[in-house]
């Protein structure tokens, strides 16, 4: 396997040590840990509408655990956070992150104008297509915000909404062009690769057309899910002609060749 990094993984169901150990056993060279900001006690009252995935943490406890796990030999561990992009709350959310030694920050869109689109919502075609277009608008805003190293799972709307807009590829290319302009990576996400690989292929083609930087992340929520779709992700990148994967240290981008 040529992909030697995973820059999207969570620790709330297990521990930083267990996730790092799993990554090391799978032969990864670099692991980016990126717990959700809504799992942090300091930010919880701002993001209490988002469902908890595990016990509440605090920024210092989380960061200390990541730094302790980084002492395991044979793997380079980077400190990150997955941060919700919510226009009305972005200033407050970003305020929580100040003063900590992040290597990278992931921007994620999990809701559209107050509605969590991964919930058990019933869509009709017209509403579904409108929601996709609004989703892409928010993704472009996240890319251009200046907050993030990468923007995650750009086709996650498909999880519950099957009504793709007729101009989906044009929307993906607009997003990829904006990401290239801002030098922000778009993510090839392992959960999405396993769930709707055809859409991820279309995303990868859009990135290749625009020379958009690309990150690879498993979106692991348990240690066993680390690098869970790396073989398939590698095939998608090769098919699109993408030969580099982006990673970060101290908020500075690095790339390695596949």
pLDDT digits (tens, 9 = 90+) for 215-254: 999 999 999 999 999 999 999 999 999 999 999 999 999 9
- The domain defined by 5-257 carries CATH number 3.20.20.140: yes
Beta-strand runs (E) in the chain: 5-6, 30-36, 76-84, 104-108, 111-112, 115-116, 150-151, 185-189, 214-217, 244-249, 252-257
d(CA 43, CA 45): 6
d(CA 3, CA 93): 32
Phi/psi at 13 (nearest 5 deg)? -85, -10
Angstrom CA distances, 213 to 167, 181, 227, stand at 23, 10, 19
**Are 78 and 33 in contact, with CB atoms under 8 Å apart?**
yes
What ranges do the domains of the chain cover?
5-257
> Comparing 60 with 120, which gets the higher pLDDT?
60
Angle between helices 168-182 and 125-144 (to 10 degrees): 10
**3-state secondary structure string, 163-222?**
CCCCCHHHHHHHHHHHHHHHCCEEEEEHHHHHHCHHHHHHHHHHHHHHCCCEEEECCECC
pLDDT given at position 122: 82
pLDDT tens profile 119-176? 877 889 999 999 999 999 999 999 999 999 999 999 999 999 999 999 999 999 999 9
pTM: 0.97
d(CA 256, CA 103): 17
């Amino acid at each position: 396997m040529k992909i030697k990094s995973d820059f999207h993984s969570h620790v709330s169901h297990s521990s930083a040590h267990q996730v790092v150990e799993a990554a090391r056993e799978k032969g990864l060279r670099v692991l980016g840990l990126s717990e959700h900001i809504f799992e942090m006690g300091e930010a919880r009252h701002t993001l209490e509408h988002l469902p908890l995935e595990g016990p509440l943490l605090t920024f210092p406890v989380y960061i200390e655990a990541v730094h302790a796990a980084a002492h395991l030999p044979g793997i380079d561990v980077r400190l990150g956070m997955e941060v919700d992009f919510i226009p009305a709350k972005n200033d407050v959310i970003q305020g929580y992150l100040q003063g900590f030694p992040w290597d990278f920050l992931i921007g994620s869109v999990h809701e559209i104008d107050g509605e969590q689109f991964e919930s058990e919502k019933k869509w009709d075609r017209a509403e579904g297509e409108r929601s996709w277009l609004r989703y892409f608008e928010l993704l472009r805003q996240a890319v251009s915000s200046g907050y993030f190293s990468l923007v995650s799972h750009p086709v996650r709307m498909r999880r519950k909404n099957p009504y793709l807009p007729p101009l989906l590829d044009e929307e993906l290319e607009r997003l990829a062009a904006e990401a290239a302009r801002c030098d922000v990576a778009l993510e090839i996400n392992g959960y999405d690769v396993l769930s709707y690989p055809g859409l991820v292929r279309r995303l990868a083609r859009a990135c290749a057309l625009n020379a958009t930087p690309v990150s690879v992340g498993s979106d692991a929520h348990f240690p066993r899910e680390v690098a869970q779709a790396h073989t398939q992700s590698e095939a998608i990148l090769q098919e699109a002609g993408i030969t580099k994967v982006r990673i970060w240290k101290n908020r500075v981008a690095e790339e390695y060749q596949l």
